[in-house]
Amino acid sequence: MNRSMTKSMLVGLATVSVVTVSACAGSNSASPADGGKPGLTKINVGVIPIVDTAPIWLGKKKGFFAAEGLDINIQSTTGGAASIPGVVAGSYDFAFGNYVSVMVAKDKGLDLKYVANGNSTGGTPDFGAVIVPKDSPVKKPADLAGKTVGVNNLANIGDTTIRSVVEKDGGDASKIKFVEVAFPDAESAAKNKQVDAAWILDPFLDSAVANGARVVTFNYSAFDPNLDVAGYFTTGDTIKNNPKEVKEFTTAMNKSLVFAQAHPDEVRQIVTTYTKMTADQLKTM
């Protein structure tokens, strides 16, 4: 979750602007889909089922989206790279994704823009890390050179920051072999030697460490202590054609972020509703 709420530059990559949506005249052209709540506009939002997205689940539960006129349907994805096609195709009205994945998409000509922040690095310890089994010979980031490392999606913020951290530590990042491993499977993939190391986020990180995994690097904070990691994005066409809907989503999302920041116990509780983590496992999160 967002612990600092501060905007920072993604060092060495590019500057990403979060779109500020102003109040616009006119009505939202969208109408409630079949099965939607009467009087509310149904929207689909793609998110990764990790701690980072707890605010949007809380916002739905607390009625922040309904108060803005939205009937929000939250759907699980594996990462930013996977959710981008869904937003472009219209399966998702908005999606949670890291800034690198969207920058890569924009470089390919896709018109995508952020409308709300999602989360920033939490420092050290952080909510994301590269883990290895306790008996692994990998002791520091440079040791990852020549190893197979699992990440949830290729060409996104995970492998990008890991490469940078390895280079900073004196290793040859070009010798890392990255393979796709979903966050829920990362712990077992590392434990069973399917990969030499795995990138993993909370709540799965806490579980892995509790089961004996060792952290090699908190790659987000090692890359940049003030790194903005991800946000909620949509298409330029959606911003142009449905400004009221975008404004409603941004307003509700910002309320959700502020509420989550102030109520960590409720964050822990809501995480148990969309992951397999228990309340006891999340006490130290």
CA distance 231 to 233: 6
Phi, psi of 147 (to 5 degrees): -105, 165
Please tell me the predicted confidence (pLDDT) of residue 78: 84
Would you call 145 helix, strand, or coil by DSSP? coil
Would you call 228 helix, strand, or coil by DSSP? strand
Please tell me the predicted confidence (pLDDT) of residue 280: 77
Provide the sign of the torsion angle of the four alpha carbons 186, 191, 196, 200, taken in this order: positive
Please tell me the predicted confidence (pLDDT) of residue 284: 65
Please tell me the predicted confidence (pLDDT) of residue 23: 32
CA distance 114 to 139: 37
Pure H helices in 133-263:
157-168, 183-191, 204-210, 219-223, 236-241, 243-262
180-223 pLDDT per residue, tens: 999 999 999 999 999 999 999 988 898 899 999 999 999 999 99
Strands (E), the chain: 41-47, 70-76, 94-98, 112-120, 128-132, 148-151, 177-180, 197-201, 214-217, 228-235
Please tell me the predicted confidence (pLDDT) of residue 119: 85
Are 153 and 261 within 8 A, CB to CB? no
Please tell me the predicted confidence (pLDDT) of residue 13: 34
Please tell me the predicted confidence (pLDDT) of residue 35: 56
Residues of the chain with pLDDT under 70: 1-36, 284-285
CA distance 150 to 219: 13
Please tell me the predicted confidence (pLDDT) of residue 82: 81
Structure-token pair, residue 7: 């905007």
CA distance 102 to 182: 19
How many helical (H) and strand (E) elements, i.e. helices and strands, does the chain have?
A: 11, 10
Please tell me the predicted confidence (pLDDT) of residue 124: 84
CA distance 149 to 159: 9
Query: What's the length of the chain?
Result: 285
Residue with tokens 């905007």: 7
Q: Which helix (H) or strand (E) holds 86?
A: helix 80-89
Are 141 and 169 within 8 A, CB to CB? yes
Please tell me the predicted confidence (pLDDT) of residue 176: 98
Listed in sequence order, the residues at least 6 apart from 108 whose beta carbon sits closer than 8 Å to its beta carbon are: none
